[in-house]
Chain A
Amino acid sequence: MGSMFRSEEVALVQLFLPTSAAYTCVSQLGELGLVEFRDLNASVSAFQRRFVGDVRRCEELEKTFTFLQEEVWRAGLALHPPEGRLLAPPPRDLLRIQEETDRLARELRDVRGNQQSLRAQLHQLQLHSAVLGRGHRLPLAATPTDGLLERTPLLQPPGGPHQDLRVNFVAGAVEPAKAAALERLLWRACRGFLIASFRETEQPLEDPVTGEPATWMTFLISYWGEQIGQKIRKITDCFHCHVFPFVEQEDGRLGTLQQLQQQSQELQEVLGETERFLSQVLGRVQRLLPPWRVQIHKMKAVYLVLNQCSVSATHKCLIAEGWCAASDLPALQQVLQDSSSEAGVSAVVHRIPCRDMPPTLIRTNRFTASFQGIVDAYGVGRYQEVNPAPYTIITFPFLFAVMFGDVGHGLLMFLFALAMVLAENRPAVKTAQNEIWRTFFGGRYLLLLMGLFSVYTGFIYNECFSRATTIFPSGWSVAAMATQSGWSDAFLAEHPLLTLDPAVSGVFLGPYPFGIDPVWSLAVNHLSFLNSFKMKMSVILGVTHMTFGVVLGVFNHVHFGQWHRLLLETLPELTFLLGLFGYLVFLVVYKWLFIAAAAPAPSILIHFINMFLFSRSPTNPLLFPGQEVVQSALVVVALAAVPVLLLGTPLFLRWQHRRRSPRPAGRQLDEDKSGILDSSDASVAGWGSDEEKAGCPGDQEEAEFVLSEVLMHQAIHTIEFCLGCISNTASYLRLWALSLAHAQLSEVLWAMVMREGLRMGRELGVAAVVLVPIFAAFAVLTVAILLVMEGLSAFLHALRLHWVEFQNKFYLGSGYKLSPFTFAEEED
């Protein structure tokens, strides 16, 4: 948990990897995920790097893998992810894997090719028989054509020269989509010197390539003349038709048909054999491919990292640079030693000083991960900046619960989250792919706390599904009021509303021990009482939250050694915030504690407005003696803090700059020396400096000091803070609004659904029957509207309060995450 407070120390390290052991070292580092490598060859293009050949070979292999995978998928088989941990294979294994893969791919291609050609043959045969089969039914189907053909020779003898004129046939099959175009083209090109008949095949045939069933159009063209025949053949060629010899005699056709059927039977047997062999090969692929894929993927990743290393002058080792957490350095050293022990020369790691801002590393566990996630979604913290996440663990669920206060709803949410937490180790829950479910599951601990806190605030508000509970006896006694005031029957009949007077002895026995007195749920001024309470509560919570934010800034200033900001920024900020809004909180609390219920109540609002106007209203009694003097003093002090905030830091920096500038060379030397001697100190001091904030990161000393830039920046900050104090305080009123909305909505749901149902049946049987659907409706609406919808909106507002109102007081969030080189996520 110590590391949650601010990000861990991250060091720039240089790794000297002996050439022979570099591969094993990097692959070991990939398994552990310790180092984020920096690209030392950014100026070198991808194909001029050292290991480009190996990367290319891996890619080559992956190409083959893709081919194998597609084949497996095409056969309708699935590839299962490999079990267990697979290390990146040693480089010499690449050859073996490559060979085996190539052999498998070749076999598969051969078998697939055989299968394809067999299928194509079969398809051809089937089409042929479809064409012929259709043809021999032609005499029945198309008698007129047939009749004409038979009659032609009878008519011809008179015209002797035409004796040799005979009808020729072209028969074939074409894809149905092209049939119409083919028919038209035939007609146009041959000017009608032909008769063509088209018909669809009865059974769909399997397409040899895709394997999908498709119907074909068979056609039979009869024509006269050789030239036309040539044209027809060219046209059928261009439409990719299958053309088959067509025997004119019917018995000849029958014979061919039988022959075809026999052939196709034989072919089918061969095809079956081929497919069996194919499935064997595919089975082998299925078994071998997944582990190979993972291995080669890792190998490629390792080579890509090696490509980022530079080569030492002697070519004996590779030099890599990267970010590594300081606490991981011993582990890193150990890994490097272990994995380079074979090579004889040990790999070495050492820290080097650097001026760049290191990446942010905050280790989380499954509990803190979701809270850190909330903070990171706003912005990853700068290196070693105070991390708001640990406080968010409590404040976030609490602010949520303030808006969601209801014992019943909170309990439901808590139980739901508890179920997820208890089931978190079940594989089915873990691997669920549903995105909405994963969102909920990821935030299960957040939900757990949110539910728990809602139960707490529900008790404070005394609401359980909008009903009040009487755990303790109420502090108000109606009986006492009735006996003391002597209400007559007539008085009671005339006045539907009666007032309980706390001044009457015995009516108000003292405050309710915990939360809101249940008697309020019966009162008609319930809402105005709660409004006043919740509004004040929101302001108190808001001012406290923001003050806490400002105080957290102190830790940043102290850590980065910017003591002047402590005095010139944090102090005026606190003065401004507490002098104005802290005083408001004081007034609220004072009024609660010391103004008796019976006395005329002073209005805090009027007092607060008068405070700024330096005036007083005679009708509004003072809360305490000397209030006006205190108020005036506070306003003056708070306003005096503004110029300090505005000008303090820029003027201080200018003074500091002036003091330094006469001897820049000497300082430069100092700086360098200290950088080498104690890199961590020098680097830490660097990142918080204001010059960087003013827009010149990196070379902080050399950067010329531009007063206007710093002034501008500080002016923006000042305006943002002062206006922010007002608007952010107002913004916290959303706590009041949302909790009110939630209470009212659940009240309405109870009154309109449940109460109606309970009122409906007086007899036991009717009530039981009616209440089933009524309760179902109540339950569904409660979950859908009150839990999910209201929960989401309360979540959203709590998120906003944290991101905008809280974090802008101290959190910059301009860093970037440490993303170490690791195989973990590449595996899936």
Chain B
Amino acid sequence: LCQPSYKMPSHQLLLQLMKRPSLLLQASRGLSAAAAGGTRTVTLIPGDGIGPEISNSVKKIFAAAKVPIVWDEVDVTPVKGPDGQFRIPQKAIDSVNKHGIGLKGPLATPVGKGHRSLNLALRKEFNLYANVRPCRSLEGYPTPYKNVDLVTIRENTEGEYSGIEHIIVDGVVQSIKLITETASRRVAKFAFEFALREGRRKVTAVHKANIMRLSDGLFLKCCREEAHKHPGVEFAEAYLDTVCLNMVQDPTQFDVLVMPNLYGDILSDLCAGLVGGLGVTPSGNIGESGAIFESVHGTAPDIAGKDLANPTALLLSGVMMLRHMQLGEFADRIEKACLDSIGDGRARTKDLGGGATCSQFTDTICSRVA
């Protein structure tokens, strides 16, 4: 919709916009971008540790591929406000709100400091309700698990991570898991729309409604209702423990998985482990009025500044972002260049068993993509 060369009959366009008002926002941005010569502005949050290096790699590769994107770099390190509270700088918030798309490197959560996890703060600030993690086996970086191609979609705002805990009496703690119909419906709807858009066959709701009858029962009910509304996608339900059991035996049986917060956290990391770990896994956080794509590995302070970092995770997140922005051709080219470079043993970075530096790996990809 946002690409200037995209031709859609005007009545269809109008119908789409009426059905999905958020598209209007995106379309208007796209139109204004089109007016500016087809370039979109994207907020870039380099992050801490190896963040700046891998962000530079991504910028270089995108430039080599001539992606029509302009970067607006911001720093999200919290600043102390006039009331003494630590907050994300207003400049960063304004940037993401304006552009609607962000790419983020790893952030450090300092121990003992006065602010909460930054990742959590960003999530709350932009109401990023769905975390999407595609896990695909990398050709050229084999693990014991072959042909993995699944996507975990995790509800990102509530559930077990509501942070509501009490000490009832000495030695007894109660932790509250919150499940709401609104949030469950929203993530279920997204899961089905995502499946349709990406051409995926089946959505499986993962739950423990045999034990948590009301909470997971509510989540399941919402998933079932959305399944009815999207008959083009197959729907299945599975217990969390059965999914885990089957996942480590045969992960190829899974396609798209949608689940509440905690299960999603655990399962998405399990799936990342199947294909090679967090260093090669992309991730996207979808909100109602925007999306932030990020690498989910740590800041690796021990190798920061030494040109040893692996930019794959951030790059593949950038690829996810391009697809989200309907820049699929660029996405495909960059992804292929990246995967081919990993497949070429010499060009890989150290963590993947190769001997290349970050810059060398980046240059290899640039030469493949140009």
**Do A and B belong to a common assembly?**
no
Chain B interface residues (CB < 8 Å from chain A): none
- Give chain A's interface residues, CB within 8 Å of chain B: none
